[in-house]
Amino acid sequence: MALKRSRASDSPWTVAISLAALMAMAFGGLTNVAAQAPAGRASAAERAAEAEAAAKDPRNFTGYWGMPGYKTPAGHGFEARIACAALKDPSGAPMERCDQPWEAKGGAKFGLKDFLNKRGLAWMEFRDEQMSEKHLCLPTMLPGIMDHEAGSVRMLDGVMLIQLTTDAFAEGVTRTVYMDGRQHPGPHEVFMQGHSVGRFEGDELVIETTNFPFSPDGLDDHIHVPSSAAKKLTERWKKIGPDKLDVTFTQEDPIFLKKPWTWTWHYVKGTQPPLTNFSCDPEGAFMQMKVATPSKYDE
């Protein structure tokens, strides 16, 4: 599906700059170099016009999308401290953070505990904090990696690139969403963020991701809800205004879920992603476990 292009290619400035460049090429030498400078300066205005057009285009998601209402009803739709209080942190106190509501409380209409099958519920009894891959510097897996930002989006021909902000939980993560009609590879190929293919249904971008490995944090990396290699994640990206984006997720996983789990996170467009300079060290990441996180499996 072709994207709407919005370059200001017919503006008077562009025409003038193109003429200048042609004249410079004709005269050659240093004049050629000098003629490129105005084009460089003009590109900022061209980029601004392109960004404005992209913002108005419901099928163009270019830009950085973050979640200022992180883990509040504004972003997640429920109060984590209420919806997940029935779960205990390593000290035995109520959990204060979760991506997904454990119970239908605090604004949540549905609770995850009613969607997990017997195996999933048994895992929730078995799990402990130290199993979480984030304390070993592994990137958070989809969908948890999007619990505070959708990322920086670039839409190219046949592919959509989504760069996550580099921190301890998304170091070097760039999602590739293939929009060229290809299929997923066979199950023997697994990727930390899965294999994603996208298509448009009207103005909604539908991204389907499979080929995940097992993860103890595959559905929620705070309360540690796992997902299996049978996991399939469907994202429906919908712009509800030039600067607002809703992504509705549906996670299917017959190993741990008895029925699909669907929820929506709300994002707004930012001027740029947070600037970070980060390289996660496993010893530094795990130190908090050593001094502040008891495990029932300690020996």
Question: Which residues sit at the interface with another protein, rule CB under 8 A?
Answer: 70, 89-93, 95-97, 129, 134-135, 140, 144, 147-148, 165, 167-169, 221-222, 274, 276-281, 283-285, 287-295, 298
Question: What is the nearest approach in angstroms of another protein to the Cβ of residue 144?
Answer: 8
Query: Is 67 or 155 the residue whose CB approaches another protein more closely?
Result: 67
Question: What is the nearest approach in angstroms of another protein to the Cβ of residue 121?
Answer: 21
Give the C-alpha separation, 149 to 164, whole Å.
8
Query: Is 151 or 198 the residue whose CB approaches another protein more closely?
Result: 151
Query: Is 129 or 235 the residue whose CB approaches another protein more closely?
Result: 129
Helix (H, G, I), strand (E, B), or coil: what is residue 180? coil
Q: How many CB atoms lie within 10 A of CB 202?
A: 9
Question: What is the nearest approach in angstroms of another protein to the Cβ of residue 227?
Answer: 16
Are 136 and 112 in contact by the 8 Å Cβ rule? The answer is: no
Query: Is 7 or 88 the residue whose CB approaches another protein more closely?
Result: 88
Question: What is the nearest approach in angstroms of another protein to the Cβ of residue 295?
Answer: 7
Joined together, the tokens standing for residue 26 give: 């004709």
Give the C-alpha separation, 265 to 49, whole Å.
29
Query: Is 33 or 93 the residue whose CB approaches another protein more closely?
Result: 93
Query: Is 96 or 201 the residue whose CB approaches another protein more closely?
Result: 96
Question: What is the nearest approach in angstroms of another protein to the Cβ of residue 75?
Answer: 11
Task: Report DSSP letters for 207-267, one per residue.
Answer: EEEE-PPPEEEEEETTTTEEE-TT-EEEEEEEEEETTEEEEEEEEE-TTTBSS-EEEEEEE
Give the C-alpha separation, 176 to 297, whole Å.
38
Query: Is 7 or 290 the residue whose CB approaches another protein more closely?
Result: 290
Helix (H, G, I), strand (E, B), or coil: what is residue 57? coil
Are 98 and 222 in contact by the 8 Å Cβ rule? The answer is: yes
Question: What is the nearest approach in angstroms of another protein to the Cβ of residue 95?
Answer: 6
Question: What is the nearest approach in angstroms of another protein to the Cβ of residue 40?
Answer: 31
β-partners of residue 264 are 248
- Closest to 98 (Cα-Cα) out of 255, 88, 228, 125: 88
